Amino acid sequence: MVKTAFVVIRSPQELDASRIIAGMSDRADAVVILFEDAVYNAVLADRADGLDRVAGDVQVARDDLEARGYESSDLKVGRAVEYADIVDTIMEATERTVSA
Amino acid sequence: MAKTMTILWRSGSMMAMDANVATKLAKAALEKGYKVNMFGYGEGITAVKKGQAPKRFPNVGDELQELADAGATISLCETCYAARGFQRGEEIEGVKIGSLTNNLFVFVSESDRLVTIAR
């Protein structure tokens, strides 16, 4: 399977990205990158569980997380990363990018 | 030769942070030494308007100008631009009024990664 970076910007209320991810990738090959209101997926327990089931790595844009009043300690899944780390993930650690 | 990232954005300059995510990602990629192309279409073209003054919000026009000055290749859809009543010359310096066929497809064909920031 192709190692894939899934870019998600919409909130959990707008989109359940886990179904797209599960349909396109194995868990081991799926890296989810959460921007903007998509970061709420990582702080809401039920959505976080859903992402954890389909993605081996969940990366949350720290700036977007903190802009919304959350910190790394609030994350129920994944880890807070910088935009530079996200570039590494897209350009080097994965082979294709899918915007969900 | 440096790898290339193309970022496609489609949301307007206000109402969502999509365009700002696109510029922040582009900036981070440039700083890491990658070549960066950006293409705006749909409401995305509003982000290149000269003279934006969003007061308490990030100025995406300034951010795009800085990226163009730093070497990013930025283009946008002429059809979308004209459809919204923009005239050539209203865009920031260094942005090319282009087209899907002449610019976006070239960007995509020469890129290692394509990132779409749109909803």
A85: closest chain B residue by CA: B28
Contact call for B115 and A99, based on CB within 8 A: yes
Instruction: Classify burial at B59, counting beta carbons within 10 Å of its beta carbon; exposed 0-12, middle 13-18, buried 19 or more.
Output: middle
8 Å CB contact between B7 and B113: no
* ipTM given for this complex: 0.94
The tokens of B89 are what?
A: 């010359």
0.80 exceeded by pTM? yes
- Coil, strand or helix at A76: coil
C-alpha B33: how far from its chain's center? 18
Q: Is B108 on the interface with A (CB under 8 A)?
A: no
A67: closest chain B residue by CA: B17
Contact call for A84 and B32, based on CB within 8 A: yes
Q: What domains can you pick out in chain B, each with its CATH number?
A: 4-117 (3.40.1260.10)
Which residue from A98, A97, A90 is spatially nearest to A17, judged by alpha carbons? A98
Task: Give the per-residue pLDDT at A29.
Answer: 98
Q: Is B100 on the interface with A (CB under 8 A)?
A: no
Number of domains in chain A: 1
Q: What is the mean pLDDT of each run of 10 residues along chain B (119 residues)?
A: 95 88 98 98 95 90 97 97 95 94 95 94
Task: Give the per-residue pLDDT at B56.
Answer: 85
Residue A73 belongs to a domain with what CATH number? 3.40.1260.10
pLDDT digits (tens, 9 = 90+) for A28-80: 999 999 999 999 999 999 999 999 999 999 999 999 999 999 999 999 999 99
Task: Give the per-residue pLDDT at B57.
Answer: 86
